[in-house]
Amino acid sequence: MQTTPENTTILEIQNLSKQYGTIQAVRDVSLKIKQGEIYGFLGANGAGKTTTIRMLMGLIKPSKGEIRLFGQSLVTHRAQLLARVGALVETPSAYTHLTGYENLELTRRLIAVPKNRINAVLSQVGLQDAANRVVREYSLGMKGRLAIAAALLGEPELLILDEPTNGLDPSGIREIRDFLRSLPKQGVTVMVSSHILSEIEQVASTIGIISNGAMQFEGALATLRARFQNRLRIEVNNTKQAMQILEHFSPAQIEPNILELNAEKPQIASINQLLVEAKIEVSHLELTRLSLEQIFLEITKENPS
Amino acid sequence: MMLSRTISAESYKLRRTPALLLAASVPLLICVLYLLLFNFAGSYRNLSEVQFWEQLLGISNFLWNTLMLQMGIAVLGGLVVGIEHTENQWKTLLTLPPSRVSIYLAKILVVAGLVLFGSMVLLFGLTLVGLLQTNFATPHWTGIFDITIRAWFTALPLMALHVWYSSRFKSFAVPLGLGFAGTLTAMFTANADGLIWIFVPWAYPSTDLIAKYGTLTLGLSSVVFIVVTALGAWDFSRRDMQ
């Protein structure tokens, strides 16, 4: 494995677009992944994640834009650059008539790495005991682990996983999550796509959100959270009057006696005081922090996929 | 270097598939059929050496050069390429460092290798049948060579064609159907007047055995093979893999 200094940009995509006839599947997507990051690529089904990853791996040609891996153009240095990348695109795949070991031997021949790497990756994903069974006898989770083992065979510096937890049971999802978390310590940068927001939230240090083929946000999770204020929910006996008094906060009536507005903790007391002074009975006050899922929905609601 | 890697991987992935068995079994069956025919069928028994070779090579021209070779290529081409259509394999294979062109060429070379293996089995089988039926007289080497090795060479364009459209269609029925349609068309065009057969590559292995067309068929096979391979590789390397 070649060493890459920290903070080096491993992957940079600029204005990537893909058009199928009149349909714009991906529009001017730009993103940057730095060394040692776990980059969560979030989007609903059909948002453009897989199309972006397919372009990234050279499976489809971009209509426009540039992809640079390790500082070099993917178009001009494809073979050298892909030798430093491991990928799992869409569903885990393997030749089902071959054993797990034979599948890895096949990949090993194509990428020219030493034979001892096969046992190393088999133990890394916990498949040593099933190595000599034909893949058609594997469960979906085992197939997923085999696909990840194949992606790791060449000791990649960048691992790209497209929806790696699809179809896995909760323990399988947890295994993958723990495994992903361990990779940056081994010098592997990870890009993982998912539509399952809670999954990304638990592993990613940086996230990119794509909706309707366009990037809506890119940055640290903390930055994303900071963009969205907490919501204060207030239950009152006179909603109409309360809305007039709190007009400055742009409240929304969500139930007959309940209002909701953006507010931070230090403002709660003064809001309560305003209502009480107007002789409005306040029976409940609750400050809620938006989950990543709610934030995601907020971001994407104006750009439905 | 890259091509040797892809050929090595392509050959390895045929483990536990019926590819080798398919390639060898048809020529073997043909040879067993000959033994039965020349020993038990009335009109084919007690032939002179010259008559025996005339009959053997004549039947082989129909069975192998007109029918089985073409259908065998359709099946083997479909198998070697179709293995990637299952379980999302193209997407995995094409994200690896080897270029698309080297993967495509490896597919053609593996199909050519399998068909050559089958042709060699037929070559040894025909030789053995000849030796047994003629009391170990010198075999008709030219005839055997024409039926097996020259036929293999003139079938190279077919191999390139089958790899091309097998890579385009997921269903195994498509290469098989096209192979069948091509074989039928070839049966009519190979013996028709004029040069209509030059547009039907399925006919080349049998037109090669017609004295006046032998050299033309060899030259045409070389050119069509190179052109179809180049076009197929170009198409494959530019295609979006959905």
A54: chain B residues, CB-CB within 8 Å: 91, 241
Verify whether the Cβ–Cβ distance A147 to B92 is below 8 Å: yes
Is B13 within the bounds of a domain? no
B33/chain A closest Cα distance in angstroms: 33
What pLDDT sits at residue B234?
97
| B17 inside domain | no
A89 with B91: Cβ contact below 8 A: yes
* Shortest Cα distance, chain A CAs vs residue B222, angstroms: 29
Torsion of Cα atoms, A95 then A100 then A105 then A110, to 10°:
40
Question: Which of A22, A16, A31 lies closest to A63 in space, CA to CA?
Answer: A16
Is A260's Cβ below 8 Å from some Cβ in B?
no
Domain span including residue B161: 2-8+22-40+49-238
The shortest C-alpha distance from A166 to chain B (Å) reads 15
Please answer yes or no on whether B5 and A110 come within 8 Å at the CB atom: yes
Nearest to B99 among A60, A79, A109 (CB): A79
Which residues are CB-contacts of A128 (< 8 A; sequence separation ≥ 6)?
Answer: A119, A122
Identify the helix (H) or strand (E) that includes residue A150: helix A140-152
A75 and chain B in contact, CB less than 8 A:
no
Q: How far apart are CA B138 and CA B117, in angstroms?
A: 23
Alpha helices in chain B (DSSP H): 2-12, 19-40, 49-60, 69-82, 89-93, 100-133, 141-145, 151-154, 156-168, 173-190, 204-207, 214-238
Which has the closest alpha carbon to A209: A220, A200, A217? A217
Question: Within a domain: residue B214?
Answer: yes
- Read off the tokens for B202: 């399925």
Residue A222 contacts B, CB cutoff 8 Å: no
Interchain pair A60, B87: CB under 8 A:
no
> How many Å lie between the alpha carbon of B3 and the closest alpha carbon of chain A?
9
Q: How would you list the strands of the sheet with A189-194, edge to edge?
A: A85-88, A158-162, A189-194, A38-42, A206-211, A214-220
Whether B94 contacts B134, CB under 8 Å: no
Of the partner residues B2, B5, B95, the one whose CB lies closest to the CB of residue A82: B95
CA distance A292 to chain B (A): 31
Q: SS3 for A225?
A: helix
Domain assignment present for residue B163? The answer is: yes
The token duo for A81 is 């650059």
Q: Is the pLDDT of residue B142 over 80?
A: yes
Question: With an 8 Å Cβ cutoff, are A59 and B83 in contact?
Answer: no
CB contact under 8 A, A90 and B86: no
Instruction: Give domain status of residue B16, yes or no.
Output: no
Flag whether residue A94 sits within 8 Å of chain B, measured between CB atoms.
Answer: yes
Average pLDDT of the residues in B122-140: 94
Task: Kindly state the average pLDDT of the residues B3-14.
Answer: 95
Strands (E), B67-146: none
B21: left (phi over 0), alpha (psi -120 to 50) or beta: alpha
Q: Within 10 A of B189 (CB to CB), how many other CB atoms are there? A: 19
Convert the pLDDT of each residue in B192-218 to its tens digit.
Answer: 888 899 999 999 999 888 878 889 999
Contact A102 B94 (CB under 8 A): no
Q: Which residue, among B16, B17, B35, B129, has the nearest Cα to B76 in the 3D structure?
A: B17
Helix (H) or strand (E) holding A224: helix A221-227
- Mean pLDDT computed over B74-101: 91
* Residue B14, in any domain of the structure: no
Contact (CB, 8 A) for B181 and B33:
no
Residue B60 lies in a domain: yes
Which pLDDT value is given to residue A4?
Answer: 55
Subunit contact A82:B97, Cβ cutoff 8 A: yes
Q: d(Cα B92, Cα A93) in Å, to the nearest integer?
A: 7
Quick check: B27 pLDDT over 80?
Answer: yes
Confidence of residue B55 (pLDDT cuts 50, 70, 90): very high
What global pTM score does this model have? 0.86
Q: Which of B87, B99, B240 sits opposite A61 (nearest CB)?
A: B240
B36's enclosing H/E stretch is helix B19-40
Tell me: pLDDT of B84 over 90.
Answer: yes
Q: Residue B97: which of A59, A83, A106 has the nearest Cβ?
A: A83
Distance of residue B241 Cα from the nearest chain A Cα, in angstroms: 5
Burial class (CB in 10 A: 0-12, 13-18, 19+), B15: middle
Are A166 and A91 spatial neighbours (Cβ–Cβ below 8 Å)? yes
**Confidence (pLDDT) at A305:** 47
Which chain B residue shows the shortest CA-CA distance from A150? B92
pLDDT of B26 strictly over 90 = yes
All residue ranges of chain A with pLDDT < 70 are 1-6, 301-305
Could you tell me whether strands A206-211 and A38-42 are parallel, antiparallel, or unpaired per DSSP bridges?
parallel
Task: Write out residues 43-72 of A within 8 Å (CB-CB) of B.
Answer: 54, 57-61
Distance from CA of A61 to the nearest CA of B (A): 6
Give the per-residue pLDDT at A95.
95
Q: β-strand A231-236 against A258-262: which pairing, if any? A: antiparallel
What is the distance between the alpha carbons of residues A53 and A41, in angstroms, rounded to a whole number? 10
Q: Please indicate whether, in this complex, the C-beta atoms of B87 and A94 are within 8 angstroms of each other.
A: yes
Hey, is the C-beta of A112 within 8 angstroms of any chain B C-beta?
Answer: yes
> Where residue B20 falls among pLDDT bands split at 50, 70, 90?
very high
Counted domains in chain B = 1
Instruction: Indicate the helix (H) or strand (E) that contains B113.
Output: helix B100-133
Amino acid at residue number A276 = V
Is the Cβ pair A59, B88 closer than 8 Å?
no
Cross-chain Cβ contact B88/A110 below 8 Å: no
- For residue B133, being part of any structural domain is answered with yes
